[in-house]
Amino acid sequence: MTRSDSVDPHSLASAPVVVGVDGTEASDAAVRWAATAAARRQRELVIVHGMDLDTDGFAVRSREGTTAIGESIVTEATRLAEQTDSPAPAITPRLESGDPGQLLVDCSESAHLVVLGGPTDSLGIGRLGSILLSVVSRARGAVVVVRAGESQAAPSAPVVVGIDGSPVSDAATGVAFREAAVASAPLIAVHSWADPYAGRFSRLLAASEEPVDVSAPDRALLAERLAGWRERYPSVELQRRVERGMPRDQLLSWSQTARLLVVGSRGRGRFARFMLGSTSATLVQRAKCPVMVVHPG
């Protein structure tokens, strides 16, 4: 979301929650999360499985066999979605041939959210999987990554958003306010700062006759970035946190008690691996709660 007055396709009433499935335990966790999210928002849930017949075992399996496996995956995911406590108002299965990652990227153009199962370990960014990395890096709007085995969030658990003052971070902030409002949850806005000179001059600062608050500019930045969104979502209970340290370390710590962690993509570069910022990539890989990566537009 942006502060533009133009129509946001991800906010239209017709925009569905899309979940990519592959039959794994992480995929099942993503289906449950997506089904609950769709029901809470009264949106259609679209369950998507893509079959790349050129590479997906086609050399050893017939086209019919590959299609049968895909149908089984989608059928089981649909059954799982229907068994949630509050199923979505409409559930639509989609089984299509083609590259699974590109299919979900295409879906993201008009989806309210795209949901994926996350990595099963934390052994390195290369272990995230090509499809997951492609979608999280290249999608439009918001992508939620849900890891298998994540513990159920407490009813009072907050939504946590990382803010760094960039335009992409501003888009993430707007989405985080929306998510907190939908869940009737508090929102914690976290800005981390790491001054490379603070340690070098710590004794000088301590000896100063007047106290020196080196975090004051960061608190001012955080207040400025939040002001407009507070006016749009007055019912959301907001807490500000300015913390010293690396953003990824602070947000990983918050993920232990959050219901959802929201960050901007911060992507740059020609290749997909470099289109996902290092903080976002680390959180997708290691966070203890679902992570929402927000792309502007």
| Res 17 pLDDT > 90 | yes
* pLDDT in the model for residue 238: 93
- Band of residue 270 on the pLDDT scale cut at 50, 70, 90: very low
pTM given for the model: 0.84
In this structure, are residues 166 and 265 in contact, taking their beta carbons and an 8 Å threshold?
A: no
| Res 232 pLDDT > 80 | yes
- Band of residue 222 on the pLDDT scale cut at 50, 70, 90: confident
* pLDDT in the model for residue 87: 82
**Average pLDDT score over residue span 160-185:** 90
In this structure, are residues 53 and 63 in contact, taking their beta carbons and an 8 Å threshold?
A: yes
* pLDDT in the model for residue 166: 78
**Average pLDDT score over residue span 249-254:** 94
Q: Which of 265, 229, 231, 246 is nearest to 191 (CA)?
A: 246
Token pair of 60 as six digits: 């050893």
- The one-letter code for the residue type at 188 is I
**Average pLDDT score over residue span 58-66:** 64
* pLDDT in the model for residue 42: 95
Token pair of 52 as six digits: 């790349």
Helices 167-183 & 216-232 angle (0-180, nearest 10):
50
Place of tokens 């890096």: 137
Residue 96 or 127, more confident: 96
- Band of residue 192 on the pLDDT scale cut at 50, 70, 90: confident
* Beta-sheet strand order (sheet of 45-51): 91-97, 45-51, 17-20, 113-117, 141-146, 291-295, 260-264, 159-162, 187-193, 238-244
Q: What percent of the chain has pLDDT over 90?
A: 52
DSSP H helix total and E strand total for the chain: 9, 10
3-class state of residue 244 by DSSP:
strand
Residue 78, by phi and psi: left (phi above 0), alpha (psi -120 to 50) or beta? alpha
- Band of residue 244 on the pLDDT scale cut at 50, 70, 90: confident
* pLDDT in the model for residue 127: 45
Token pair of 262 as six digits: 């929201």
Per residue in 30-40, pLDDT (tens digit) is 999 999 999 99
Beta bridge pairs of residue 295: 141
* pLDDT in the model for residue 268: 43
| Res 175 pLDDT > 80 | yes
- Band of residue 234 on the pLDDT scale cut at 50, 70, 90: very high
- CA–CA distances in Å: residue 182 to residues 36, 88, 112, 173, 235: 12, 15, 13, 14, 11
| Strands, E assignment, 184-259 | 187-193, 238-244
Residues ≥6 apart with Cβ < 8 Å to 99: 50, 52
Nearest-angstrom CA–CA distance, 158 and 183: 9
What average pLDDT does the chain have? Answer: 83
Residue 297 or 249, more confident: 249
In this structure, are residues 159 and 258 in contact, taking their beta carbons and an 8 Å threshold?
A: yes
**Alpha helices in 139-215, H assignment, sequence order:** 167-183, 202-207
Token pair of 278 as six digits: 């290092």
Q: What percent of the chain has pLDDT over 70?
A: 80
